[in-house]
Amino acid sequence: MGEAPYTPDLFGRADCMAPWNETVTEGVVHLHHYALAKERELAAAIKSVIHVSPLRHMVTPGGFRMSVSTSSCGQAGWITDGAGYRYSSRDPLTGKAWPEMPALFMQLAQSAANEAGYPDFLPDSCLINRYRPGTKMSLHQDKDERNLGQPIVSISLGLPAIFQFGGDERSDKTQRIALMHGDVFVWGGVSRLKYHGILPLKEGSHPIFGANRFNLTFRRAR
Ligand code: MD6
Ligand code: FE
């Protein structure tokens, strides 16, 4: 193999930060660094959404306060309360429609899906999850969407996290995948209903996002 020269590009980004794609398993593609070039625009767009529909800790149907805080944008937002998990066209906190999905969100989600082999992805929902150090997401399936034929696009920003990717049963063995700032995970097809979760976040501070990890998940809810 030839020697790879270290060549920062015009913007001072090193070759090691160039995007590259990894197939994790059937239907699941890890687009490393895919969203990195838009990190500041994404931070601004998140800020504008949560200014209108603030992050909040929702409560599971079983009565547990989630450790992640969440908001949404788009036509439908994922919510949970004593009545169950579901999508709602209104934000229960404000009583109003969720903020419109920023154009950049839609563009990135669709281009990432296309890159991963899902050319017809048309999301109507973007869930914003904020994790602080210590925050986790227990193993779960994403099955509240009407059309399970559409994939899910997930963008990770800020502090890194360890993603657990399992099987069809909660008790199945899981593999651990590091999700770094700017990584995009796309999954669908036969893997659409696999169990997955996030291990408790480590302490740290990111230059743009501070002591937080933001995860944007794009879905076709209806
Ligand atoms: C997270 N993600 O990355 C949690 N679900 O913080 C998810 O639960 C998830 O990344 C479905 C598809 C992609 C995901
Ligand atoms: Fe999920």
145 Cβ closer than 6 Å to some ligand 1 atom: no
CA of 141 to the centre of ligand 2 (A): 6
150 Cβ closer than 6 Å to some ligand 1 atom: no
Mean pLDDT of the 8-15 span: 72
Tokens describing residue 36: 């990195």
List residues, by chain if needed, whose CB lies under 5 Å from ion ligand 2.
142
Domain boundaries, the chain: 8-219
In one-letter notation, the amino acid at residue 166 is: G
The pLDDT assigned to 13 comes to 75
pLDDT tens digits, one per residue of 167-206? 999 999 999 999 999 999 999 999 999 999 999 999 999 9
For a substitution probing ligand 1, which of 194, 217, 219 has the most ligand atoms within 8 Å of its CB? 217
Closest to 105 (Cα-Cα) out of 120, 124, 133, 129: 124
For a substitution probing ligand 1, which of 24, 215, 219 has the most ligand atoms within 8 Å of its CB? 215
Any idea what DSSP says for residue 142? Answer: -
Name the band, by pLDDT with cuts 50, 70 and 90, for residue 1: low
Q: Cα angle at 201 between 126 and 59, to 5 degrees? A: 55
Ligand nearest to the backbone CA of 66: 1
Instruction: Identify the CATH number of the domain defined by range 8-219.
Output: 2.60.120.590
CB count within 10 Å of CB 162 equals 15
pLDDT tens digits, one per residue of 81-120? 999 999 999 999 999 999 999 999 999 999 999 999 999 9
In one-letter notation, the amino acid at residue 213 is: R
Show Cβ contacts of residue 71 under 8 Å, excluding neighbours closer than 6 positions. Answer: 49, 50, 53, 54, 55, 56, 77, 91, 127, 128
Q: Please check the confidence at residue 160 and state whether its pLDDT lies above 90.
A: yes
pLDDT tens digits, one per residue of 56-83? 999 999 999 999 999 999 999 999 999 9
Closest to 206 (Cα-Cα) out of 135, 156, 157, 158: 158
Name the band, by pLDDT with cuts 50, 70 and 90, for residue 2: low
